[in-house]
Structure 1
């Protein structure tokens, strides 16, 4: 592991069946979402030689099951602090079960939380949840941003997270696969709408505006099991970035994520 890196990051799981990201600094070890069983998250963390009892915090983005399934059990078992905004706490309370008062924390949208040596910036997104928010991590003039579960990326978000050192960006579906697939029309409309999910092409176009001279790593996240293929998402991202003169060989590295296997622990910054 690189001792000089600001962060080390592993996308433990990403997809329509469950999402969790692990990020650590010298002082803090954090999960963003815990959308799988506690047992599965424990095994995913073991893939990168980490233990859930080492965690300092779980940050919750929104109350959908694929983001909160293991939040309650992990907090109760290991005494982990959980951070979410107030509407998300209200919306997820019945599904995460009882969490001790000393481990319940409000992290309001648009605010900055400092935990040890890392500052975490929250920003709202457009998704069909109570008050969905995602996070950008800052340390030593380095940053890492997560953006999935949004129907579009507005100028406010772009301004907030432009030119980060690394990203997780949504590549949820291939448009043709979704249109021709077996989902009912109402669900297709939801996914395609302004409070749905970014397609492969939409996510790639967003990245053409976000990538700057600092950006070195982009992880393709939240792929649909029914309406996408890893190779197709990767190819689309690479093609669109190359069309915009962004070098994906010697410049920005693209990484696939998986719903069942953790990525390696990557150094960021």
Structure 2
């Protein structure tokens, strides 16, 4: 086994909370801490990771489903936060004045190194102060985390192009959302350019960025009210079925869940996890 291999686990994903673990060699990071500290500890324990060994926490934006457990985590583990200036301006109030938090500002399109990882932040179109997605590079592999984006710009697609693994938002089915119980102002927010990607929009994104290098796609941030796991999987699978990497069996399409983590996976083998795949009908 290559100890330098880029590995990851989606610890939780959905409107109730989001967290992603990434590791290469001895470098271990958490992207978002949107679940409670007990769930975070339990999920990390399930994949064999000790939270106290983290080197950093990255924060995509300040919404509660991405930072709910952040303050509790940083009281247990003294590691720096990497986030945008806009996001930090919102979450700094989570800590009392006497508590010391190491905050390091990053900017979209300016890559930076963390141990054996290189991270490239990119701007998202979402109704937060200065939200970011991340391309993560390690040991010759590329991992992309792109959730909470109302639409995927050409610039985001260009940065995300050619990754080995994608954790991509497929938040809602448009018809379920339109017919659902949400008030119209909330529906309009979700459907807007600063809301969330639908299943169809996620499919369009993948058609523009997938190459023969792609190993796996994890559909993330699914709405419990406005989507269904099987529906999201079926919609995306059908839309990308004719792409060579899919038709040749080189790509695995997977789901993520709000209440349990994916296995800790090596990026190079992320297309060999049939226990997390729903077979299309």
Q: Determine if the TM-score, normalized by the shorter chain, exceeds 0.5.
A: yes
Distance 1:79 1:268 in 2: 28
1:146 aligns with 2:145: yes
What's the counterpart of residue 252 of structure 2? 253
Distance 1:122 1:195 in 2: 18
1:49 aligns with 2:48: yes
1:202-233 superposed Cα distances (whole Å, 9 cap, x missing partner) = 10110011101211111000000110111111
Decide whether the 8 Å contact of 2:211 with 2:245 is kept in 1: no
Distance change (3 Å), C-alpha of 1:96 and 1:268: farther
Decide whether the 8 Å contact of 1:127 with 1:196 is kept in 2: yes
SS, match of residue 29 in structure 1? strand
Distance 2:43 2:95 in 1: 20
TM-score (norm 2): 0.91
SS, match of residue 247 in structure 1? helix
TM-fit CA distance, 1:99: 8.5
TM-score (norm 1): 0.95
Distance 1:213 1:98 in 2: 50
What's the counterpart of residue 198 of structure 2? 199
TM-fit CA distance, 1:139: 2.0
Taking the TM superposition and a 5 Å limit, the aligned residue runs for 1:200-215 are 200-215=199-214
Distance change (3 Å), C-alpha of 1:99 and 1:198: farther
Q: How many residues align?
A: 268
Decide whether the 8 Å contact of 1:75 with 1:99 is kept in 2: no
Distance 1:71 1:182 in 2: 31
SS, match of residue 128 in structure 1? coil
1:133-169 superposed Cα distances (whole Å, 9 cap, x missing partner) = 0111112331100111001101111111101010001
What's the counterpart of residue 129 of structure 2? 130
The answer for unaligned runs of 5 or more in structure 1 is none
Name segments (4+ residues, structure 1) moved above 3 Å: 95-102, 243-246
SS, match of residue 164 in structure 1? coil
What's the counterpart of residue 238 of structure 1? 237
SS, match of residue 90 in structure 2? helix
The answer for unaligned runs of 5 or more in structure 2 is 269-281
Distance change (3 Å), C-alpha of 1:195 and 1:75: same
TM-fit CA distance, 1:189: 0.2
What's the counterpart of residue 173 of structure 1? 172
Distance change (3 Å), C-alpha of 1:192 and 1:70: same
Decide whether the 8 Å contact of 2:3 with 2:24 is kept in 1: no
Choose between structure 1 and 2 for higher RCO, CA contacts under 8 A separated by at least 6 residues: 1
Distance change (3 Å), C-alpha of 1:99 and 1:69: farther
